[in-house]
Structure 1
């Protein structure tokens, strides 16, 4: 029998993680580690778990608590970096009001529906389109990582949200890229996104950190399939060969570790943002 690691913030948000591989054991440890009057739990879990079974078990363990979450490629828990396991972030009733919406079929209709979903959530918060919300409301969005729709979806949500700060990311499945999972209130979602608007009575600040330093090497995409996000050419040369030359490796040496060690970044508004390479075709 393992043990769940846990921590609690001064505003009552609980955090717990477990490395137990069996769903029943993992959920039992998490339930024992979290105590409080919670209203919503965000779950991040390894793709090794059966997502539907985990969603059911979490719903039974926390029967009066809404649960949203997604599969990941690792995480950061109370004890540090996690390669697998389950991580829960639990929001209490006191000091928070959480409103959620699901954007279905993000590849085809999600972008069109995103603004509608945001307007509905803002109405629940009690805001009109001109109301400043950045100081008391922030958004969290989880997206199917294989939908190839994150950028247009994020742009639509950001435009509709106004000055609300937004964080989140893409669901992962380790480095398999076979199938990611999102769960929401007992449902298993496919090609969807979960958007949460979180009202907070406590002050908050959104920040980002980067563990890379930009170099003087510039790569320009000169041929690509934007629908599948496949880059064919960099600097008018075959993409993989040009990338390998830029980082000083042979073409056959490219793989997940070289992609992670030498990420591509794009400069937007004075800041650098990582653009990960999924794989080499």
Structure 2
């Protein structure tokens, strides 16, 4: 922790974010952070990989600090997600949002950053419930990870470590900001219908009235006994919401031959197979567009684990990592991303920070 604090500088900070490999001693890290960052809120999560200044990393802790000179922040933990009505967090969020606006009215750029237990299965409900209480404040975030083990994920706020929980930070700043989400997938004409599902568990039992895993494998031209994370990353499916398509990524095949998804699924949902654009070229172009007319000072990003897996399979992970580094993206690899009222997959979402506008 002393090394991280030294690299971040003297502060003071309004907010510090820690993205920690599941290999680290998370509880000790969080306890130590309380001794180094004074009055700053410290929010943290375990990851499915880290993104540092040199791009993708493993087995690391990445820290991002927001200096009090340009940022004001408030943060709250929402725990026991399985037991609570997500709407109950709304009134508290409204109070926190209004209090922060009153405390820092001159810091007119504002965003919300959400970290959620990536095994809670509550990201969809939570993001949708928080949206009205944000009053138009743009929200982005990521689901905490556990490498590729999918066994135990954790979040933390101000010394408190929790599972089945989420942490939300509201930030106001003097710097111009832009919240974004992007993916490199295009829907095809190949469709399938969910004919039996367990929405609470995000499990699809049948597709087109056939066993789910076998029918998915048939449609994408794969051996049903060889389906794995690489297959799901290479052959994503999307659902249409309004005029846009959003990924519904598959996590695994269950012992019963069902498909468990990373995000909301339901009977009657029409899924469309998507084709991929070049992930490196697409990312470079989209992040380049964020640099018009001026390049960001930095970007805090939540990048889906499936994007890294896809790049590994295509042997382009180094190029993708270098692209993240060149565009000054730091953050972590997730089990899913939040953008506005939606929980999505196989995207990168984040916030870009720009130099202050000179008046004169």
Please say whether Structure 1 and Structure 2 have the same fold, judged by a TM-score greater than 0.5. yes
1:217 paired with 2:190, answer: yes
How far did 1:31 drift? Answer: 2.2
Say which of 132, 142, 145 aligns to 1:159.
Answer: 132
Q: Following the alignment from structure 2 to structure 1, what is the Cα–Cα distance between the partners of residues 3 and 85?
A: 36
Give the match for residue 18 of structure 1: none
TM-score of the pair, normalised by structure 2:
0.66
Native 8 Å contact 1:99 1:124 kept in 2: no
Is contact 1:51–1:183 with CA below 8 Å preserved after alignment? no
Aligned counterpart, 2:33: 58
1:194 alignment counterpart: 167
Match of 1:153, SS state, is helix
- 1:104-154 residue CA offsets vs partner (Å, 9 max, x unmatched): 211221503221221221231247xxxxxxx62211111111111111111
1:116 alignment partner, one of 85, 88, 91: 91
Instruction: Determine if contact 2:71/2:171 at 8 Å carries over to the other structure.
Output: yes
Give the corresponding residue for 1:125: 100
Q: Choose which of 246, 251, 256 in structure 2 pairs with 1:278.
A: 251
1:88 to 59, 63, 79: 63
Is residue 259 of structure 2 the alignment partner of residue 259 of structure 1?
Answer: no
Given the alignment of the two structures, is residue 182 of structure 1 paired with residue 142 of structure 2, yes or no?
no
Q: Any conservation in 2 of the 1:223–1:232 contact (CA below 8 Å)?
A: yes
Partner Cα separation in structure 2 for residue 86 and residue 240 of structure 1? 36
Check if 1:103 corresponds to 2:67.
Answer: no
CA contact (8 A) 1:103 1:117 kept: no
Q: In the aligned structure 1, how far is the partner of 2:16 from the partner of 2:85?
A: 24
* Matched-pair contact (CA < 8 Å) for 2:192–2:207: yes
SS of equivalent residue, structure 2 residue 119: coil
Let me know the Cα RMSD of the aligned residues: 2.1
Equivalent in the alignment of 2:7: 33
Cα separation, partners in 2 of 1:275 and 1:84, compared to 1, 3 Å: farther
What secondary structure is seen at the aligned counterpart in 1 of 2:252?
coil
**Deviates further, 207-216 or 175-184:** 207-216
With normalisation by structure 1, the TM-score equals 0.83
Three-state SS of the structure 1 residue aligned to 2:196 is: strand
Structure 2 distance, partners of 1:33, 1:126, is: 30
Instruction: Give unmatched runs, 5+ long, in structure 1.
Output: 1-26, 128-134
Say which SS state the counterpart of residue 82 (structure 2) adopts. helix
Cα deviations by residue, 1:233-279 (Å, 9 ceiling, x for unpaired): 12221111111112211011101111122222222233332222111
> Aligned to 1:78, which of 34, 53, 56?
53
Q: Structure 1 residues 81 and 155, CA, compared in 2 at 3 Å: closer, same or farther?
A: same
Distance 1:114 1:273 in 2: 26
| Range moving further from structure 2, 234-243 or 107-116 | 107-116
Q: What is the aligned partner in structure 2 of residue 130 from structure 1?
A: none
Matches of 1:234 and 1:48, distance apart in 2: 37
Out of 135, 144, 169, the position equivalent to 2:117 is 144
Q: Distance in 1 between matches of 2:59 and 2:229?
A: 18
Aligned length: 251
Instruction: Give how far 1:177 is off.
Output: 1.4
Structure 2 residue runs of 5 or longer lacking an equivalent are 103-107, 255-360
Aligned residue for 2:5, secondary structure, equals helix
**2:337 paired residue number:** none
Question: 2:250 & 2:59 partners in 1: Cα distance?
Answer: 21
Instruction: Check 1:262–1:83 CA distance in 2 against 1; reply closer, same or farther (3 A cut).
Output: farther
